[in-house]
Chain A
Amino acid sequence: MSDYRIHGATGEWEVVIGLEVHAQVVSNAKLFSGAATAFGAEPNSQVSLVDAAMPGMLPVLNGECVRQAVRTGMAINAQINAWSRFDRKNYFYPDLPQGYQISQLYHPIVGEGEIEIELEGGATAKVGVERIHLEQDAGKMLHDQHPSMSYVDLNRSGVALMEIVSKPDMRSPEEAGAYVRKLRSILRYVGSCDGNMEQGSMRADVNVSVRKPGQPFGTRTETKNVNSVRFIMAAIEYEANRQVEVLEDGGTIVQETRLFDPDKGETRSLRSKEEAHDYRYFPDPDLLPVELSDAFLAECRESLPELPDAKRARYQDGLGLSAYAANVLTAEVETARWFEQLLAATGEEHAQRAANWVTSDLFGALNRLGRTIEDSPVSAAQAAELLTLTADGTLSGSLAKQVFEIMLETGQDPGAIVEERGLKQTSDTGAIEAVIAGILAANPGQLEQYRGGKEQLFGFFVGQTMKAMQGKANPAVVNELLKKALG
């Protein structure tokens, strides 16, 4: 895999990385209650008596969360466990009213799978997934609202999370970044997590250790709750360098929980508890085991969309797109969806032209406007019309760019713009010939030089003709008629 190394005073060190990604399951209601999961609601407004752990309340499992976890497992070719069970993880914290988190330690719903990641230069690597289990999220705490109090909001309490545990297969920040990006892409294709890292829908616990190449694994530290790809990569780099420094100074790495400080770009020890973690896991007596029928599993499998790897391969092999275009068009599910709407309207025979247009013209415009493809001012149907107008010769390349700019500004359909503003390309030979005659008459000097052998002046005449026709002349026709008139 990676040849990424930390260059220490005593030689080179290899970095070993494993990630535990917490992905919020897309569902209307919580994992065990009927309270809503929507982001940004008034504090404690989306809390049922189950989520607040009132005495006597019993959890009832949300079938949709089970389905989403199973579909996610299938999308990474993982072992699906038709029999799984929930356990209680016991600890006390103010954001956990039950005094335990319902999770799955012993019998997770999804077992081993794997994810293929793309690295710079087109290389790929496989990263193993150890397991995926379902668990409850905790509440949210605010520490800066009151001098001596912490505020607790239980809206998130009981929301379903998938904990996706990788194997310690990554060896560089780049690989870890590629893994999280790929995982996010898959989750969004499947629709089991919105992948919104700013809102905390996806966050990672980053396990890092270092070793001399070929040696056994070193002691790892766990940096909790890192919420962007960039921060994950920065946390790994900082933590690996810190560990090398400690070890080379003759120290030892303590297995501990650390926190990443994005402002300083460093990790720091969160707590070295005098009491070791002792969660006293045991099967939750309020919940029967989860048993999945063959019909349920079949439905999950049938509901899976075409996934990014398959789609990319199809774009390259089936549609003849470049590796680059296939990659950028499939990395985000919204882009792929938009592109496929476009293709449905233009026909797949125009795939390469459509891909070029999307990756250069459309992406360029969206970038300039600070927009994403989801709120693109131009719809896929409008783009298809524009491409068709170019393909059938109504618009030249430069006219198409003009029309596209107007579409971005006004949101009008390209056909209407062409009609209204008379931007149609003309192939009317009579009209073009008349203009050419005028140009030649107005530029006798250039004409003489051209005929005297200065052939690069041909471009000058093309330019003058196009200008006189306000860019609406068919360039191929102009070239042909000019050659005739000058020859």
Chain B
Amino acid sequence: MSVDTATVRHIAKLARIAVSDEEVAALEPELNNILGWIEQLQEVDVTGVEPMTAVIPNQLRLRDDVVNDGNKRDDVLANAPNAEHGFFAVPKVIE
């Protein structure tokens, strides 16, 4: 599998990352290099090997159904470029 410049632009757009033409030109071989490594890894026969989900034996921890967070509107909004009346305010998006 390999990517062309159109795919690089598509991926960048999906990730909302602006890339210049020069960057696209540089990213294409870089991404293909990475994909090459992945392809090499895929040659390993993993038949019968359980996928590893943690490096040490570990179980998902669950939280109790208790309200112990929230009520920090000012903190939540502190980094927002724009906030009004307790809401985040963003350029109008209407579908």
A binds B: yes
Q: How distant is B79 from chain A, measured CB to nearest CB, in Å?
A: 8
Q: Does B59 contact A (CB under 8 A)?
A: yes
Q: How distant is B65 from chain A, measured CB to nearest CB, in Å?
A: 4
Q: Does A43 contact B (CB under 8 A)?
A: yes
Beyond A34-B69, A44-B76, A47-B73, whether A289 also contacts B86 by CB under 8 A is: no
Q: How distant is A141 from chain B, measured CB to nearest CB, in Å?
A: 7
Q: How distant is B56 from chain A, measured CB to nearest CB, in Å?
A: 11
Asked if B60 and A47 sit within 8 Å, CB to CB, the answer is no
Q: A267–B58 Cα gap in the complex (Å)?
A: 49
Asked if A28 and B72 sit within 8 Å, CB to CB, the answer is no
Interface residues of B in 16-69 (CB under 8 A from A): 16, 53-54, 58-69
Q: How distant is A153 from chain B, measured CB to nearest CB, in Å?
A: 6
Q: Quick one: which of B10, B62, B68, B84 has the most chain A CB within 10 A?
A: B62
A-B contact count (CB 8 A): 137
List A contacts of B86 (CB < 8 A): 42-45, 153
Q: How distant is A48 from chain B, measured CB to nearest CB, in Å?
A: 4
Q: How distant is A379 from chain B, measured CB to nearest CB, in Å?
A: 31
- Contact mask A258-302 → B, CB, 8 Å, 1/0? 010000000000110001001010000001111100000000000
Asked if B53 and A49 sit within 8 Å, CB to CB, the answer is no
Asked if B73 and A42 sit within 8 Å, CB to CB, the answer is yes
Q: At the interface, is chain A mostly helix, strand, loop or mixed? A: loop
Beyond A27-B65, A35-B69, A52-B76, whether A288 also contacts B54 by CB under 8 A is: yes
List B contacts of A35 (CB < 8 A): 67, 69-70
List B contacts of A62 (CB < 8 A): 62-65
Q: Does B89 contact A (CB under 8 A)?
A: yes
Asked if B63 and A34 sit within 8 Å, CB to CB, the answer is yes
List B contacts of A33 (CB < 8 A): 69
Q: A289–B53 Cα gap in the complex (Å)?
A: 7
Q: Does A324 contact B (CB under 8 A)?
A: no
Q: How many of A's residues come within 8 Å of B, CB to CB? A: 52
Asked if B90 and A150 sit within 8 Å, CB to CB, the answer is yes
Q: A152–B69 Cα gap in the complex (Å)?
A: 20
Q: Does B93 contact A (CB under 8 A)?
A: yes
Q: Closest residue to A290 on the B side, CB-wise?
A: B60
Q: A69–B69 Cα gap in the complex (Å)?
A: 23
Q: Does A29 contact B (CB under 8 A)?
A: yes
Q: A141–B60 Cα gap in the complex (Å)?
A: 33
Asked if A34 and B68 sit within 8 Å, CB to CB, the answer is yes
Q: Closest residue to A147 on the B side, CB-wise?
A: B92
Q: Closest residue to A97 on the B side, CB-wise?
A: B88
13 A-B pairs within 8 Å (CB atoms) are namely A29-B67, A34-B69, A35-B70, A43-B87, A62-B65, A93-B93, A94-B88, A142-B87, A150-B94, A151-B85, A151-B87, A151-B89, A153-B88
Q: List residues of A whose CB falls within 8 A of some B CB.
A: 27-29, 33-36, 42-50, 52, 60-66, 90, 92-94, 141-143, 145-154, 259, 270-271, 275, 278, 280, 287-291
